[in-house]
Amino acid sequence: MSKVEQYITSIPDYPKAGIIFRDITSVLKDADGLRLAVDEMTAKIGDTEFDAIVGLESRGFLFGMPMAYNLHKAFIPIRKSGKLPRATSRIAYDLEYGSAEIEVHREDITPGLRVVIVDDLIATGGTLEAAVHLVEQLGAKVVKIVCLLELKGLHGRDRLTSCPTEAVVSYEGK
């Protein structure tokens, strides 16, 4: 068991009966929990060689920024569509009930750039899969995905087979 797991609050029957919501705000509000989360996520990168951390809005920013700072690497945000001021590349993807778009500044992702994608959660894998495609369409290489949590029952990892994927804490259910 990861030490950071003790800081995660599990809330039964939220947002509906039968679901256990894994709340990470309890990790963020505790200095020791936050340090553990960032350190354990950084350790999951291991000896992977890379140039930048790409963080997904918004919780990927919370963990990716301190990881990039500690490793003296660049941080590149992937945002929801319409949030970035310069020329962007975007990708649309399907959600369980609808669709969404994410984008990145086109000049931030260059051919040959090796990146680690960081987010808080592997659930169905749709957003992470879209981020991988977006980065790779611009010529970069995703060398690893690192997340704090994984909900194994949603099988999101099955969509992320193109690169090594790591989670600090994995839960069997949904």
> Which residues does the annotation mark as catalytic?
59, 96
Directed axis angle between helix 31-45 and helix 59-71, to 10°? 70
Q: How many CB atoms lie within 10 A of CB 77?
A: 20
Q: How many CB atoms lie within 10 A of CB 118?
A: 30
Q: Which amino acid is at 78?
A: I
Q: What are phi and psi of 117, to 5 degrees?
A: -90, 130
